[in-house]
Every structure is written in C-alpha cells, then in structure tokens.
Structure 1
Amino acid sequence: MTHDPYASPAGPVPARSGELVLVTGGNGYLGAHVVRRLLDTGHRVRATVRSPQRAAEVRAAAAAGGAADPGERLEVVRADLSADAGWAEAARDCTYVLHVASPFPAGVPRHPDELIVPARDGALRVLRAARDEGVERVVLTSSFAAIGYSRKPGDTYDEGDWTDPDDDLTPYIRSKTVAERAAWDFMASQGGRTELAVINPTGIFGPLLTPRLSVSVALVKAMLDGALPVVAPQYFGVADVRDVADAHLRAMTHPDAAGERFLVSSDTAISFLRMAALLAEHLGERAARVPTRELTADQVREAARTDPALREAAGQLGKVPVLRTDKARAVLGWHPRDVATTLVDTAESLYDLGLVHN
C-alpha cells in the first residue's frame, strides 16, 4: 500500500514564499509530519532536536517515501526544552514557530513534576524566545487532555472546556493542562505582539515517517503482534497525524486563528476493542492476533490499584466523549480522514517498516 504522508482531505495549504518556520521536536512522530508539510508547501524549516545525533532522523523523515531532498531549505539545530541555551538562536529570523515537542513518556514518572515542570517551562522558553525574536505567531501543540478529562454532564467537549489539573489525573494529562494554561497566561501578560494559536488533538495515529514509534502507534503494533490480548473498556477520539499537521499549518497563517484553540479529532469516539475490530476487518489474517476481549469495569478498577498504566482507564469508565470539531472546520477549513483509513494506514506503515512481528 502506498501512503501519501502529507495530503489533506480538505485540499492543500497554499504554498508560501519561502518563509522560515521553526518546528520544535522535528524528529518526533508529529514533528516529522509537520516538517514534511511545511517543506511541501514551500517553506524553509528550522527544526530543533535535543541532541545532534537526532538530526539525521529529521532529514531521513523529510526524504522518506522518495520525497525530494530539501537541501538548504531544511536546517536542524540543537535546543533542549529543559535549558535556555539555543532558543533565541533557533527562533531568530523565523516568521512562525510551531511548538510541537513535549514530553510523552512510555511509563509513569516517579513524581508528576518530572513531566509537568518540563512541559510547562519548555513551552514558556519557546514562547519567550519567539516574542523576543519578533515571531509573528506561535502554534502550540496541546492535547484533548487539556480539554476533556474532567467529567461533565453529557460528556460533550469543545474548545471552551478545560480539564481541571486538581482532579485525580495521570501526570501526562496534568502536564498538558498546566502547560497550555501557562502558555495562555504568558501571552496575555508578556506576549507582546506575538500571537498564539493552540491545536488540541485527541489520540494521534497514522503512518510513520521513521521507524521510531510513538506511544499511540506502539499500541497498534502491540495489537498486531498479539502482545495485547485484552483491552480496557475506554473510549477516545482518533486524530490522523497528517490531519493534525495540516491543522497546524492552517492555524499558523489563518487570520482568524490568533488567540484560539482548536479541537482536532474524528467525529466519533471509539473503544480499543472497536479499534481492534476495524484492524481485523480491513487486514484479515494479518490482524489475526488483535484482541477480542475487554476487561470488565471491576477488573479495571482492581488492576488500577497496582498498575499505574490502568489508572487513566479507571477514571474514564463509562465515559464516551462527544467531540465537537465544528470550530476547526468552520474557521480553518479543516476536515479529518475517517477512522478506518487512519488505523489501516497506521498498520500498513508498521508492516512496510518491518515493525510487526507475527
């Protein structure tokens, strides 16, 4: 199966005149797609990585699938979200900054601040550098985690909703909420002429540009490998990585996006079990090892006592979120792929890269 890693169902973002855009975390799963979209639309890109050894990953992703070598249109620089050094230079001469990088650990940290503090302080470092260097607009990658993890009647969520970080939440969910709140507060009091827009995606799936797995794609791999025989009864929205990248570019330039946040997701939330069923339906024997059973609610609650990985699922039992993406559609002209396409393309990408072991 051939993947188009950057096409949007809503049509292309108009080509630009070589403006320089800073992308933080350019070697990450989403960051790599954002870099590719920017290059495809005529921008020059400066991508940050935490260590020089990661620079090759950015260039490999930019040239994946036979894409043209961007040459001097792509620059990779070192800048770490945990330190001030390098951020002023990274933002210098940039028209826009897309702050995509954020900690997302595979496991639960020993202390919540190990995740919350870097996410918050890293966002503020990027915003401060953007303001000081005269960047026109910053687009921050936040998450549905900052919108919809506090319960409300009807469980219908849009950009006007906020997760309460004082609720009993996992460190990751709290980190996204605290970091986004801090970003908006900073821009209101110290942002100067620089504008801010925020993208709040649900769970991000879709094809990989490099073999390095994201947490969400690793879940699909575990299903296909047969390493996940039973799943929690949890519902969530699916956002295609290509559509999330597309939303960033639209929010970057649209005049009505300044000062706004945008929920980006499939229309309907699905469960892990439904995800497995879709994979089986479309992939046949290649998905013969996907899970076919769910834990009961009592089993989730009991397991969550000793397994931090199930704590989030326990807190969301019985919740089927209704996801309102009207704003992204109306303001940005954004439209998502259907969930089946996203999940099948995720799986095909894993097969193409030789990452499924069955």
Structure 2
Amino acid sequence: MIEGLVVVTGASGFVGKWTTIELLRAGYSVRGSVRSETKAEAVRRAVEAQLGAEALGRLEFVRLDLLSDSGWAPAMRGVSAVMHVAAQILAEEPKDPQVVIKPAVDGTERVLRFAAAAGVKRIVMTSSIATIGYGHGQTSGVRTYSEADFTNLDGMRRSWAYCIGKTLAERSAWAYARAEELELTTIHPGAILGPALDADASISLGMVTGLLDGSTPAMPRIGFVVSDVRDVAEMHVAALQRAESIGQRYLCTTDYMRFEHVADLLRMHYPDAPVTSRVVPDWLLQVLATFGGSVRQIINDVGNEKHYDASKGERLLGRPYRSAEEAVLSAAQSAMDTGLVKQAAR
C-alpha cells in the first residue's frame, strides 16, 4: 500500500477536489497542481468544509501547466504516487481539436516522464468511457462494453476531440508505463454527476442545471451511463491502496439513463422548475453535428444504447457504486445550493 505524499494534477477540478478530499480522508498528504492561487483557495475551502481545518496541514499546492515543463521536476520530489486527474474539457467541440488533444496527450506524457525521472512508480490516471466504447461499429441497438474494449478511433462515425485526446493519451500512458516499468492504473467514468462542492463544477452538471433553469429548450434522444463523483474519487484511492489494481483498467459507471429519464426525475423532485419535455429528432441532430458545437460531442451515441459492465470496479471498491438517481439528485441539490441554477428554478 502506498503511503505519504501524493501529487494530484488538476486538484481544483470537480474530480480533483473530491479526489484530494478522499486522499486526505484516508490519511495521505496531497500536493495539488493548480493554475492560480484563486483555484488553490477554492480547494482549501472545499477541504475544510468536508474534513475540517486540521486536514489543511497535509495539503499544499504547486502551479503547473500541462503544456510546460516548468515546475514539474520539483513538484515530484519526495512523492510516493501521482494521480493524474487534470483534463481539458470544453462544452463545445473546438474548431481546432488540438486545443483539447494536445493537453491530453502531451500533458500525460509530461506527467509520466517527470514522475519516472523522480523515481515515482505509482500512477493512477483518470481516463473515461470515451477510451472504451467508441469506434466499434455500433450504430443501433444495445451493447455492453467492458475494460477489455478499447476505442477504435478509425471506426468513429464523427470525430470528437475529447475522445481522440483521451484515447491517444491512455494508449501513450500504457506504452510509457511498460517501457519505464511504471505501476499504472486507469479509472474510466461516464457522465460525472454527484454533489458539486462549489460553483466551479463539471461540465456534465450542465445537463442537470440546463434542465432545472430552462436553458435547455429540448433534449437529444440519447442516454448515457452516469458516474457519481464521490465514487470516482474513492476509486482512485482504492486503486492506490490495493496492489492488484496495478496494470488494470476499471470502469466506474452505474446505470444507463436516457435524457428524458433525467428530466422526469428532476420534474418530480423540483415541480416548479421549467424542465422541458421537448425532444430534438435524430435527423436534426445529424444535421447540426456537421457544424460542430456541442452536438458533435454526442452524435456518436445517437441511435444506440451503450452499457458498461462495471462489476470489476465494484469488486475493487468493495461495494456497489451509487445509483444514477442519487448522482443526479445530489448534483441538482448542490447546483441549487451553490448558485449554479438561477433563482427562478428554485
């Protein structure tokens, strides 16, 4: 079992904050990478709210950039393990895919290279279902994927920068880990929901907030597997604590939910919220996807239903993952509490 000081990249992100909290809860010290002191202060507030002021004595920060070597060598000194959580995630498909792909691929290479140079062997990396369930020729019907599947970028119907970046980064990480004898584990969530600690939360929460405040005028006729951010964070710690996770990929996903089901659930619990019941037809999504934007990020899921067998991850964690309904409702309540949802939806 790894002990001592753990570097968490992207410590101020939605998953990064929760991972930092769970590491501190488990007794580790954390050196979090952030882009600014403002971001660091947000993590401190979240940690203190969850664990109390005592935990802050085991938390420190370094300013690092995934696209620059500056600061990485000293950041790895005295470190027992690295949790590479940082990622560039955009709500809209960028006109230049490299805006997303380059930080994913180059950033992952940089993290592993400086870890190896410092003698740090143990790496736990946040990956995604995007590296598992795409490019396999599924255009209709139901299919279940597992950790044995790896996205085939050449087989995708439409390009998707996040999927490309995550897949190339993970493939590169496994190759580098084999070459340098690093002890790598990858964690693969789906749409990450659950409670936001502050207003700087996951883009996935936009699905919930958009329904609650009425800014989503109509829903795509698709579904997705949900991950509770607390499970994702706890899986990172479980992987760190159990040697059998080395060299393994783990899905951290729960139930498949259709967008309409999310809307129905929110409508039931927030009857005064302007939750839409309108649905965008598939043909219109196909047209809109040719112009890029947010539709391009979901177009590969239109017309099919992808499930993921997460039993391997649940065995590592020692319990079932939280339900999709709990993840959605806790996301909704936290969005209300942190001001992510406009007052009119309350």
TM over 0.5: yes
State which drifts further: 296-305 or 238-247.
296-305
> Are residue 272 (structure 1) and residue 259 (structure 2) matched?
yes
Does 2:274 correspond to 1:284?
no
Bigger mean CA deviation after superposition, 144-153 or 97-106: 144-153
Instruction: Indicate how the Cα distance of structure 1 residues 309 and 72 shifts in structure 2: closer, same or farther if over 3 A, else same.
Output: same
Name the amino acid aligned to 1:182.
Answer: S
Cα pair distance change 1:289/1:151, threshold 3 Å: farther
- The farther-off stretch of 117-126 and 298-307 is 298-307
| Alignment check: 8 A CA contact 2:2 2:240 kept | no
Residues 188-208 of structure 1 deviation map (CA, whole Å, 9 limit, x = unaligned)? 12x23x300000111100111
Q: Percent identity?
A: 37
Greater Cα offset, 311-320 or 134-143: 311-320
1:12 maps to: none
Q: Structure 2 matches for 1:144-159, cutoff 5 A? A: 144-152=129-137, 154-159=142-147
The Cα shift of 1:313 comes to: 3.0
Contact 2:226 2:253 in 1 (8 A): yes
**2:192 matched residue in structure 1:** 204
The TM-score with structure 1 as length reference comes to 0.90
Say which SS state the counterpart of residue 107 (structure 1) adopts: coil
Q: CA deviation at 1:246?
A: 0.5
Q: Distance in 2 between matches of 1:136 and 1:334?
A: 28
Alpha-carbon offset, residue 18 of structure 1: 6.0
Cα pair 2:5 2:28 within 8 Å, conserved? yes
Distance 1:245 1:272, change over 3 A: same
RMSD: 1.8
Shift in Å, 1:173: 1.0
- For the pair 1:163 / 2:151, whether they are aligned, the reply is yes
Instruction: Report which stretch shifted further, 296-305 or 142-151.
Output: 296-305
**Residue pairs, 1:214-253, within 5 angstroms:** 214-253=202-241
Structure 1 residue ranges without an equivalent (≥5): 1-15
Structure 1 pair 105/226, CA: closer, same or farther in 2 (3 Å)? same
Q: Does 1:303 align with 2:288?
A: yes
Deviation at 1:254, TM superposition (A): 0.8
Equivalent position SS for 2:305: coil
Give, in whole Å, the separation in 1 of the partners of 2:319 and 2:283.
40
Matched, 1:143 2:131: no
Kindly state the Cα deviation for residue 216 of structure 1 after the two structures are TM-superposed.
0.6
Query: In the aligned structure 2, how far is the partner of 1:234 from the partner of 1:210?
Result: 28
TM-score, structure 2 as length reference? 0.93
Q: What is residue 131 of structure 1 aligned with on the other side?
A: 116
Q: 1:136-186 CA deviation, whole Å, 9 max, x = no partner?
A: 410000100010122356521010111112333211111111110110111
Q: 1:112 to 1:284 in 2, by over 3 A?
A: closer
Q: Match of 2:7?
A: 22
Residue 340 of structure 2 corresponds to 355
User: Which of 7, 20, 23 is residue 38 of structure 1 equivalent to?
Assistant: 23
Residue of structure 2 equivalent to 1:6:
none
In the other structure, the counterpart of 2:248 is: 260
Segments of 4+ moved more than 4 angstroms: none
Do 2:48 and 2:56's aligned partners in 1 also have CA atoms closer than 8 Å?
A: no
Partner of 1:317: 302
Q: Distance in 2 between matches of 1:298 and 1:338?
A: 32
Q: 2:330 aligns to what?
A: 345
**Partner SS for 1:335:** coil
Q: Is the 8 A contact 2:2 2:81 kept in 1?
A: no
Match of 2:171 in 1: 181
**Structure 1 residue 334 displacement after superposition:** 4.5
Maintained 8 Å contact 2:195/2:229: yes
Partner Cα distance (1:259, 1:133) in 2: 20
Q: Following the alignment from structure 1 to structure 2, what is the Cα–Cα distance between the partners of residues 143 and 248?
A: 13
- Inter-partner Cα distance in structure 2 for 1:205 and 1:217: 6
User: How far is the alpha carbon of 1:214 from its aligned partner?
Assistant: 1.7
- Letter aligned with residue 261 of structure 2: R
SS at match of 1:156: strand
How far residue 103 of structure 1 moved from its aligned partner, in angstroms, is 0.7
Distance 1:233 1:169, change over 3 A: same
Q: Name the CA distance, whole Å, in 2 between partners of 1:212 and 1:120.
A: 24
CA contact (8 A) 1:62 1:69 kept: no
- Of 345-354 and 298-307, deviating more is 298-307
1:173 maps to a residue whose letter is: C
